[in-house]
Structure 1
Amino acid sequence: MKQFEPQPDDWAVVTGAGRGIGRFLAQHFAGKGMRICALDIDAYEAEQTASLCGEDSRGSGCDVSDREEVASVAEKLIAQGIVPRLLWINAGVGSAATVIDTKDSTIDWLMGVNVYGPMFTARAFVPAMKAAGKPCHVAITASSASVTPVAGPFTLYATTKQMTAAIGEALTAELAEDGIGVTILCPGILDTDIWNAAQARPERFGGARQTPDKVGDHWRAQPGPDVLAKGIDEALAAGGGWCIIPTEADTEPKMLARHEAQRIGFHRYAVGESE
């Protein structure tokens, strides 16, 4: 894929842009002269991000887990001439939940935001990007949990984030013929509010819930999202691909152990061979 160079006055649409990595991404690309359309389930936070990105930028509420809302927001923006040259599918939520023991509503919530959300967002914006006929790029924020074995207390989150990365791989394959590169960002734990994501959980998924503040201590002890800048710029300059930026020393050995386990479990046989 051709390298992607952010151009002044081009639009970058960033989902989950109200805080954390999303706000960092919006400001990062605004710093390169791009106009930012910040989308977030919290419209006020989205507008606050836009205000940090220049007078030509704008913010809007958008619940990425709602297919019809995503389609409606995209349709309105595209009608206003906001066809992104860079679409960053970033919205994501976390929960200390397991596959077996958690509530159905929690499963629906994480699947809705981390899995269906990226698909709804891509389906809503990419056709217009392709039709515009200009160099463009799609990026998706997965996680270091997308490339390491599913383990620990966040097994449901890790499961959905492995699917997030798989959607990035699907988009890579589907958009290759159109010359559109795809970046799959896999950051480690950063100083963001993902630990308190339930504060904006819609009623249909169980409603808002405030996580005890002390839970966030581990995240607050981590580096901020600005550590992603160099890796992101290099990935875009290379035309996309995997962009794994761990903050935990054991991410690489865990990733390699996962690959080794897959290798060991690989069984060769001749197709059509009888027992």
Structure 2
Amino acid sequence: MHDVKDRVAVVTGAASGIGRGIARAFAAKGCHVVVADVDAAGAEEIARELEGRGVRSLAVQCDVTEPAAVEALAERAWAAFGRVDVLCNNAGVGLTNLVAETSANDVQWIFTVNVFGMLHGCAAFVPRFRAAGGPAHILNTGSEHSLGVPFPGMGIYTASKHAVLGLSDVLRRELAGFDIGVSVLCPAVVRTEIWDAGRTRGARFGGPVHSPEVFRQFMESGMDPDEVGRIAIAGIERNDFLILTHPEVRAVADERARIVGEAFDRYFPR
């Protein structure tokens, strides 16, 4: 997909943070946007903003942990626009805790949003993309943690983002023959409120939980999410598999590659 102008994109988690940045970047390129978020009022606000920029936009309340809600999102998008060209599985949450002290509720919540939310999006949109005949594109939001950032306290989040990368790598090979591209966005620290995503956690996952204030201060030092959005759209238009935003993460990826290489050399000396 060389140009998103006049296309239609669906972005989950688009009422704030990286999702909002992606939605704005699409609009700046002349792409119509379906703004999906569990926060209905926030989604409506962003949709109005995007329409003020000269594109069509639709706000849809959507909880990506519910397959039926994501299926309804796809139905509404096609009903409103007659097509969808790009799906951005961006909705995500995070929580900090030591691996051995993480509750089952915490694990289920993070994986249900970050991993199953992505899978629900693929299940609802991929059959429609294939039926339409392409071209189409799927952007899954991973993280620097997808590439190997073993930060203590972030174990479950890191595991979920490894899953996003692994699933996306297989998905792009499965869809290569259908003119459907797949990208993984791998940002490092971005100025968002994911640090306190637990404040809206539902009762079935144990109810609200708050992160320490120090994480807010840390996240505020991050990249502007609008800049992340611009980088993401450029990567989609180039059909990049990995879309990277922070050059300093290369050191972490190189370290992971070094460890793997040394392990092979140790077990299978050349």
Give the TM-score normalised by the residue count of structure 1. Answer: 0.89
Residues 36-70 of structure 1: CA deviation (Å, up to 9, x unaligned): 10111111111111111116211111111112222
2:157 is equivalent to residue 160 of structure 1: no
2:40 is equivalent to residue 29 of structure 1: no
Gaps of 5+ in 2: none
1:4·1:136 contact (CA, 8 Å) conserved in 2?
Answer: no
Q: For the structure 1 residues 39 and 161, does the alpha-carbon distance in structure 2 shift closer, same or farther, using more than 3 Å as the test?
A: same
* SS at structure 2 position matched to 1:52: helix
Query: What is the Cα deviation at residue 199 of structure 1?
Result: 1.8
Equivalent residue number for residue 272 of structure 1 = none
2:48 is equivalent to residue 51 of structure 1: yes
Equivalent residue number for residue 172 of structure 1 = 172
Which residue identity lines up with residue 218 of structure 1 in the other structure?
F
Partner residue of 1:40 out of 29, 37, 40: 37
Query: What is the Cα deviation at residue 212 of structure 1?
Result: 4.9
Equivalent residue number for residue 8 of structure 2 = 11
Distance 2:239 2:76 in 1: 29
Distance 1:199 1:83 in 2: 35
* SS at structure 1 position matched to 2:243: strand
How big is the alpha-carbon RMSD for the aligned residues of Structure 1 and Structure 2?
1.9
Equivalent residue number for residue 238 of structure 1 = 238
Residues 248-268 of structure 1: CA deviation (Å, up to 9, x unaligned): x3x212211111111222344
1:41·1:200 contact (CA, 8 Å) conserved in 2?
Answer: no
Identity of aligned residues (%): 30
Query: What is the Cα deviation at residue 108 of structure 1?
Result: 0.3
* SS at structure 2 position matched to 1:53: helix
Question: Which of 88-97 and 61-70 deviates more?
Answer: 61-70
Query: What is the Cα deviation at residue 233 of structure 1?
Result: 4.0
Gaps of 5+ in 1: 270-275
Distance 1:19 1:141 in 2: 14
Distance 2:50 2:128 in 1: 24
Distance 1:127 1:101 in 2: 40
Query: What is the Cα deviation at residue 26 of structure 1?
Result: 0.5
Query: What is the Cα deviation at residue 76 of structure 1?
Result: 3.5
Distance 1:113 1:223 in 2: 23
2:35·2:47 contact (CA, 8 Å) conserved in 1?
Answer: yes
Which residue identity lines up with residue 135 of structure 2 in the other structure?
P
Which residue identity lines up with residue 253 of structure 2 in the other structure?
M
